[in-house]
Amino acid sequence: MSFKKLALVAVVLVTLVSGTNVFAAANCIGIPSAVMLVADGNLAVTIPGMNKYDMSRSPKADTSFHLCNINTDGLVTKQVCMMWFTQLTKAMSDQINVKLYYASTSDCEWNLGGYNASNYYPLYISLNK
């Protein structure tokens, strides 16, 4: 095999491997320490250990992250959003772990569903003992 073909195979393999890591899924698990339903209908949650860093990997002061809006259908319907609100408040009050499954990120520590990161929404939220 010539050097050019070997180099091309190496580039293709590296591209394929790095491409799958970018879109790997994440199961983010923790106990909510705050659940916020804002006057405009936005639902946000704080779960220690999640959403600690911004896009530049600098520590964030506010680690709460936006999930959905109970007044408007978006990527998450308002009915599902209201169910998530009840699940999260139950988990916070009973100190139960919740699992947020994200298909669009592999990292639970940064840029989860922030108001400026609308492409990061969990596909589901579940309660886990």
Q: How far is CA 110 from the centre of its chain?
A: 8
The pLDDT, as a whole number, for residue 116 is: 44
The pLDDT, as a whole number, for residue 54 is: 66
**128, HSE (Cβ side, Cα atoms, 13 Å):** 14
Q: Which residues of the chain have pLDDT under 70?
A: 1-24, 54-57, 61-62, 111-120
φ and ψ at residue 33, rounded to 5 degrees: -105, -15
What structural domains and CATH numbers belong to the chain? 24-128 (2.40.50)
Q: Residue 26: in which H helix or E strand, if any?
A: strand 26-30
The pLDDT, as a whole number, for residue 33 is: 94
The pLDDT, as a whole number, for residue 128 is: 85
The pLDDT, as a whole number, for residue 106 is: 76
User: Considering only CA atoms, which of 71, 81, 75 is closest in space to residue 104?
Assistant: 75
Report d(CA 128, CA 25) in Å as an integer: 18
